[in-house]
Structure 1
């Protein structure tokens, strides 16, 4: 039997499909594996290229298979889909992965370490708590409005409603409804405490990581954005240039060009939505500060703010921040401020 040189693995919870070919492209292995059989199977194989889709559990399996001496490469699922022939099933998916991983122009996803995945989990947990906080606040506002009790927008308005719930003296709210509101208030207090705890843990990791501290020197980048960048980009050298980073995040215009005519639309919104939203919020903070003090260190930003909407300028600045962050990651230097420019 010919030696296997490339293997495609279709990941699942319990049943995995593998498809292996030799140097000439002839199929050598095509079989199913139970979860407990995956690592023993790769232990018996000679070192080869192993392709996986970058989906749930992919980074775990990539680390474990790489420990056995194999060259493991992760690919975005959307880049593998064109290689699926006709019907979609596990066998066809594994064959498509095996074929896609051998393409010389294929783009791969860097394998994250356990620490990086843990930091991203901390970010996702915090994001979930923030969404729950918003849901609880909206529920409290809506329920109290049913009894004619409303408050202004913002934190002060919410605090006013919470004080009314604690007081319990407003006769417009029936006893049963008041008990429900008190339960929602208690849940809101708990969620707020969990958000603060997540912020504390993120800040502690940020202070212990040299690269994260260097990224914080970029205007518009705080501990939240810095730690998210470090955890989301395991290998900055995987990008060919600084322009590839905002394209990966989805901060560049979509193209619909043909016949030599360029047609650019709104941003693509491809890639990491969470990272994109953080960078735009950070850029908005820089623009807000520039308007308050009346100057900015970026002449191009001052000119753009004068002729385009604020959100367009914010996206452009977020694109710039992503490129600067990549440059600092690769060079190992710190950010240096340009000269002042009047807005």
Structure 2
């Protein structure tokens, strides 16, 4: 592929800002277009380099343009914003995206394929239901306290104890408060069903993807974590090394320095918060069950525990899991357990 034209697009729902640059980087046009006109315009420039901000609909358009033979680069929104000059408007945003791709250290977001998009959407659906369920439980406990009803923490205890309080005629619950709590309980039970349905749909879809099956061979990684890793990392080609993959999930130390003095801080906590949480929980389950195992990974964990706190060791293992997952995705090979040193 020989790219002679670069097209920078500021995406939107109906009106798109499209900037055209020739092979020398000279701006030839920067106009607003409808979706149909944008598609016609891009068709007039075959094998172009198309750059867009990694935002809503970016992966859809990325897949579509790649099928037409174009090369696609998705720029993270926070990076594109650094190169904007003047006021924020569509025309300046399109120019900023082009400026960002010219910088040698700019990293790009890989265009998700349909398998990744399905997994990412199902994960978001499941996370949304879980968040709503937590909010509903908090509303139940908070409202109950206003009437002297103290429901113990945890979803299971709310599900178990609330019906008894509703049937108790001697407490201070009024007709209105009973109606509200009963309605919230119905919402909680519905959300339980929705979480289960979303989880089953996610597991079914993940089991249809061979690479997810390979990822489940990693210690502490089951289908949900495997699907989240594949949805995030893809085939691993967007990262130069395993550390870059770990950095994208926020599991590497931050650092601060001046005058040649650099200091390592806690982990950056950047990127996908949900995936990071899943990985840490998976790593914690491994750390808590090593006992007297003599495989290489268990020996490494025991060595870390002898020098570091349990939580620090857990995060270090989560970091290692991302690196091993990246190696599997990048090489296409199966997981090989490390030997004892």
TM-score normalised to the size of structure 2?
0.91
CA contact (8 A) 1:133 1:188 kept: yes
Shift of 1:339: 5.2
Counterpart position of 2:39 = 39
Q: 1:326 to 1:132 in 2, by over 3 A?
A: same
Matches within 5 A, 1:310-325: 310-325=310-325
Counterpart position of 2:252 = 252
Tell me, yes or no, if structure 1 residue 199 matches structure 2 residue 199: yes
CA distance in 1 between counterparts of 2:293 and 2:135 reads: 38
Counterpart position of 2:15 = 15
Matches within 5 A, 1:42-61: 42-61=42-61
Query: SS at the partner of 1:130?
Result: helix
Shift of 1:47: 2.2
Per-residue CA deviations over 1:56-97 (Å, capped at 9, x if unaligned) read 111111122223322111111222223212322211111121
CA contact (8 A) 2:215 2:226 kept: yes
Counterpart position of 2:261 = 261
Counterpart position of 1:286 = 286
CA distance in 1 between counterparts of 2:185 and 2:322 reads: 39
CA distance in 2 between counterparts of 1:271 and 1:156 reads: 31
Per-residue CA deviations over 1:268-315 (Å, capped at 9, x if unaligned) read 11222221111111112222323xx46574333223223433222221
Q: 1:4 to 1:264 in 2, by over 3 A?
A: same
CA distance in 2 between counterparts of 1:253 and 1:93 reads: 32
Q: 1:318 to 1:44 in 2, by over 3 A?
A: same
Moved runs in structure 1, 4+ residues, more than 6 A? none
CA distance in 1 between counterparts of 2:156 and 2:101 reads: 55
CA contact (8 A) 2:248 2:271 kept: yes
Query: SS at the partner of 1:289?
Result: coil
CA distance in 2 between counterparts of 1:276 and 1:316 reads: 12
CA contact (8 A) 1:6 1:20 kept: yes
Per-residue CA deviations over 1:110-131 (Å, capped at 9, x if unaligned) read 1112332122111001101101
CA contact (8 A) 1:295 1:340 kept: no
Counterpart position of 1:172 = 172
Count of residue pairs brought into register by the alignment: 337
Shift of 1:100: 2.2
Counterpart position of 1:302 = 302
Per-residue CA deviations over 1:233-284 (Å, capped at 9, x if unaligned) read 2231221111111011111111213443321111111222221111111112
CA contact (8 A) 2:220 2:286 kept: yes
CA contact (8 A) 1:84 1:96 kept: yes
CA distance in 1 between counterparts of 2:260 and 2:123 reads: 43
Q: 1:165 to 1:237 in 2, by over 3 A?
A: same
Shift of 1:192: 0.3
CA distance in 2 between counterparts of 1:336 and 1:167 reads: 57
CA distance in 2 between counterparts of 1:170 and 1:238 reads: 63
Query: SS at the partner of 1:298?
Result: helix
CA contact (8 A) 1:8 1:50 kept: yes
C-alpha RMSD of matched pairs (Å): 2.2
CA distance in 2 between counterparts of 1:223 and 1:184 reads: 31
Counterpart position of 2:184 = 184
Query: SS at the partner of 1:162?
Result: helix
- Which runs of no fewer than 5 residues in structure 1 stay unpaired? none
Query: SS at the partner of 1:243?
Result: helix
TM-score normalised to the size of structure 1?
0.91
Shift of 1:170: 4.6
Shift of 1:340: 6.8
